[in-house]
A and B are shown apart, each in its own frame.
Chain A
Amino acid sequence: MDFLRHIFTFDSDSPLLFTQLYFWVFFAIVYAVFALIMNAQHPSHNTLHRRNLFLMLVSWFFYYKTSGEFLAILIFLTFSNWAIAFAIRQAQTRAQTTLAKGWMILSVIIDLGFLCYYKYAYFGVDVFNSIFGTHYSIVDQIILPVGISFYTFQVISYTVDVYRRSVAPVANFLDFGFYVAFFPGLVAGPIVRASEFIPQLYKPFHLSRRAAGLAIFWMINGLAKKIILSDYLAVNFIDRVFDNPLLFSGFENLFAIFAYSLQVYADFSGYTDIAIGVAMLMGFYLPRNFDSPYKSANPQEFWRRWHQSLSRWLKSYVYIPLGGNRTLFGRPANRLLASNVNSFATMLIGGLWHGASWNFIIWGGLNGIGMIVAKCWHSLKETLGIETFIQRHRCIRGLDHVLCVLLTFTFVTFTRLFFRSSSNLDPATANSQAWLTARQMMGQIVGAWDSSIIPLFLLQYGNIVLLFFVGMAIHWLPTKFKRWYRLTFASLPWWLMLLTVVLVIFVSYQFITAEMQPFIYFQF
């Protein structure tokens, strides 16, 4: 009985993680039933409905295993957005535009209300107390439902798109429920827009041989990224430094910050890779979320390559409504000024989306400033003719690109000092602790460099250093080469693919040095 209870009930200490055996057994069983449903000789409309209903139910079970009774919030938001979308369309049909707008605003208020309560209550009270000198406090501890930031944004995009008439309301609640809850991307994205996903619900299953191979590649690639690069680096070095920066020299602190850049990429993109692979095996295509972001030559490019689904969402539902590069505070303005102010505001909101603490806002703000400075620098280079000179000489162009990439990587890495310092913290103490950590790390880097420790560091942490450089080297491989080896893997004979996968799993297991680490973006 205990065994069955363990399988079917929520346990906060053992959520369903992609890196756990339990998830893969869950997936194998789900896939077995999925195969049974899709095995019909002549798949009909009913077959697709059965599939969608089944996948929605297992997605809800997946969410229940990850977040317990917060499943009720997911179901409520699914229902409210589904119903309000219909109300919007009905009002639009009757030409009641104000009513349609009212419904849309109500829907956004409901969605953001849940998000704000669970995510920003502590922060809001803290800010209120600071401004008005009061001493209000949150009586009960608020636990953040896993993935609420992701699925809230997803349903907001649906309702707004319906209001904008760029997507039709989904007639069947079960289909809509499936879109919102589809388990591979439920807790950490990618944030899928309705127009990208809902048409897939009504298409018959089709998966080519190569697509199946690619799906397997994404899954195994994500697992290796998470276990070998992210968890190993974190457990054996990065977390130690961030926990007690003063115990390490400035050099070690600096290395930890750079290593964290690789860790957070490997962690988040690893999750997305697995999500894309798992979805693809069931015939659904999720959008890519990363495109080798550390190859970016400036912060704007970085944000086009990093967490692409969030960047697109912010552009569509924040930046453009704010005025984009045309208006500022609702009035026509200089394009450059409007673009800079609106993109800065968007980055601040993007920072706040990640977490309720000043450090995330600072992180967002720094990225916004970085984008503005890069844009201005580019304009200045063009005005002074430097850009023309650089483009004319191939060698200088290459050198300039390398320098820009390294500079952007360094800039992004240092902004992460605020990002990492705020992560994994109790909201009540996040600000003070994060400031302390950031200050101590910078203090060590600036004031306690201690070069004499470098040989000893290389001796003690040789495997960490090696792993970091190997990880970065793979990241910086040419896109064409990466595509080549992906396709080569996807075209392998089944038996060879099987052996490769088993070997990668075996090697990855050797890197597990502690209990499974949750994905970083689970907390957002």
Chain B
Amino acid sequence: MKPKHILAWIVAVIACLAVISWLFPTQGIVLGDVQLRWPSLQQVLTQDPGPDCTSPALDTLSILSTPSTLSAPSAISTPSASLPNSYRSDRTESAVAYGRDDSSRIVVVEATPHTWIAPLREALGSADTTTIHIVHYGDSQLEGDRMTTNLRRRLQTRYGGSGAGLIPLHQTISSRTIHQMLTMNGKIQSTGEGPKRYLAYGPKKNRRENAIYGVMGQVAMMNDSLCAGSEEMSLRIEPMTNEKYPARYFNRIRVLCDGDIHVSIDHAQVLSSGYYALPDSTTRCTIQLQGRGEVYGIGIESDHGIMVDNIPMRGCAGTIFTGIRSAQLTDYFSATSTRLIILQYGGNVIPYSSDTASVYAYIKRIRAQVRYLQHCAPQAGILFIGPSDMLTTIDGHKTSYPILPVMDHALKKMAQEENIGYWSLLDAMGGIGGMLSWQQRGWAGSDGVHFTRKGADQAGEMLAQYILEQLAAEE
């Protein structure tokens, strides 16, 4: 065969494909559940990657300006900065740097400026003699002590304190800070084993009737009928890495439990019920538990300074707090001098929120949670962290969920009305399209939802910087 014949064949293939591009409907062809797609000639010639800012699938601008649904609060600066000017990643480069270089630039909305940070600021004066807690609740973005690690490290370095904060009795997801090894009746428990647990979040099969879950929203049962014979447990705690960060050292242990459980820690002195003092600062410790009852968590603390508790709840939208007995929350927040509660939720409802009605329903439920926590911890401020940028596939192209700016805006409004702080993770990432940029930098996973370890560090760093700046501003 001669090359010219092959060339003719190649040209014929290209021509056929061009004809299909010319004839194929731009909106595709729907066959049952399948939508057939083919790029138009214009898309091919201009290398257009897909939907642009001019045609977002949901007209967010019009939704935001519709008073009957979610009216824009007067105190809030125009949300145009966070609206989808582009779905392309290149535009977000400068925005990411903008937030990273100075996170205080990120829009924060408050009715009374700085009220949420005031309790923490006031308590810092006594941080060198007493302990102050910050409780960081969130969804799977926090799993493994991600994001919280940098926040804790920065605050403990600046204001003193050590220890990793609250941990569950059994580590089902490994943490990057603390390694736990639980032994039940002499047998080491893997992450899939361990005592029977009840969870306030996740699948309903894990719920319990009496709503007693503790401050972490989870409870581990000792000598439960489902794990008969588990009378003796031994929990070994040690740091995950050799890195010299404050969280690896501790000299106080707080065991949150109920029932007939005897706790023993070598050389420890009992300070109060469930609260133990170690003779010296250490990085390793073994806690022996014996008896029957419920364990809500173990606090790894120091005798002064700041403690930051990392409490991830996979799949949770943050609407579960009202399902936890208020007495337990109040007791913990009060006993530990909790001065700041951080709530980081919203991401898990984004894929299921297609319109403003669903956003409104979520805001209503989250508002109830905020009020409930304000009731349980009147001495603490609350900071709400909205959802990150998240990607979905529209017409075969990765784009941000069109509802995200609406949710972010609605959460800001709720925060203002409830007198709590709001930190927009969406803005911190560079706004809509930021996730693409984070993916390119290796800061976000390929699912377009979760951060990688690097990304979690980055987000945690920005959050820490923001809180430190707010504290410094007050000082």
Contact = CB atoms under 8 A, between A and B. Distances in A.
Chain A bound to chain B: yes
Interface string A104-139: 000000000000000000000000000000000000
Interface stretch (A153-161, A236-244, A373-381, A383-391): A236-244
B12 A506 contact: no
B247 to A, nearest CB: 18
Interface residues of B, number: 46
Interface string B23-38: 0000000000010111
A498 B38 contact: no
Interface string B56-78: 00000000000000000000000
Interface string B430-451: 0000000000001001110010
B450 A243 contact: yes
B3 A34 contact: yes
B446 A243 contact: yes
A337 interface: no
A502 interface: yes
Interface in A428-470: 429, 433, 436, 439-440, 443-444, 446-450
A498 B9 contact: yes
A402 interface: no
A515 B450 contact: no
Interface in A264-319: 281-282
Given A207-B1, A426-B442, A449-B192, A510 B7 contact: no
Interface in B162-178: 172-174
Nearest to A497: B9
Contacts of B191: 443-444, 447-448
A404 interface: no
A426 B132 CA distance: 38
Nearest to A206: B1
Nearest to B176: A436
A173 interface: no
A153 B419 CA distance: 66
A211 B2 CA distance: 12
Contacts of A429: 454
Contact of B192 (A426, A450, A512, A513): A450
B442 A246 contact: no
B10 A31 contact: yes
A498 B450 contact: no
A72 interface: no
A211 B5 CA distance: 13
Nearest to A281: B6
B144 interface: yes
Nearest to A495: B12
A451 B6 CA distance: 54
B2 A39 contact: yes
A244 B445 contact: yes
Contacts of B14: 24, 28
Interface in A1-54: 21-22, 24, 28, 31-32, 34-35, 38-39
A247 B450 contact: yes
Contacts of A76: none
A238 to B, nearest CB: 9
Nearest to B39: A509
A212 interface: yes
B49 interface: yes
A267 to B, nearest CB: 15
B3 A205 contact: yes
B327 interface: no
B279 interface: no
Contact of B20 (A34, A38, A207, A506): A506
A369 interface: no
B446 A31 contact: no
B187 interface: no
Nearest to A27: B10
Interface string B128-154: 000000000000100110000000000
A335 B38 CA distance: 60
A202 interface: no
B144, B174, B397, most chain A CB atoms within 10 A: B174
A512 B396 contact: yes
A498 B453 contact: no
Contacts of A426: 442
Nearest to A38: B3
Nearest to A517: B446
A167 interface: no
A514 B192 contact: no
B393 interface: yes
A252 to B, nearest CB: 13
Contacts of A512: 396
Contact of A250 (B1, B192, B454): B192
Contact of A515 (B11, B37, B398): B398
Contacts of A501: 13
Contact of A239 (B36, B398, B446): B446
A31 B4 CA distance: 9
Contacts of A506: 20, 38
A482 interface: no
Nearest to B452: A243
Nearest to A243: B445
B192 A510 contact: no
A31 B7 contact: yes
Interface string A505-524: 11001101111000000000
B193 interface: yes
Interface string A89-107: 0000000000000000000
B44 A21 contact: yes
A22 B44 CA distance: 10
A244 to B, nearest CB: 5
Contacts of A515: 49, 398
B1, B17, B173, B396, most chain A CB atoms within 10 A: B1
A35 B445 contact: no
Contacts of B44: 21
Given A243-B445, A247-B140, A436-B453, A28 B396 contact: no
A208 interface: yes
Interface of B: 1-4, 6-7, 9-14, 16-17, 20, 34, 36-39, 44, 47, 49, 140, 143-144, 172-174, 190-193, 314, 393, 396-398, 442, 445-447, 450, 452-454
Q: Which 5 A-B pairs have the closest CB atoms?
A: A447-B190, A243-B445, A239-B446, A35-B3, A447-B191
Given A209-B1, A235-B446, A498-B13, 7 more contacts: A35-B4, A38-B2, A240-B447, A443-B174, A446-B190, A501-B13, A512-B396
16 contacts: A28-B7, A39-B4, A240-B445, A240-B447, A243-B445, A243-B447, A243-B452, A247-B143, A439-B174, A440-B174, A448-B172, A494-B9, A498-B12, A506-B20, A509-B38, A509-B39
Interface of A: 21-22, 24, 28, 31-32, 34-35, 38-39, 205, 207-209, 211-212, 234-235, 239-240, 243-244, 246-247, 250, 281-282, 426, 429, 433, 436, 439-440, 443-444, 446-450, 494, 498-499, 501-502, 505-506, 509-510, 512-515
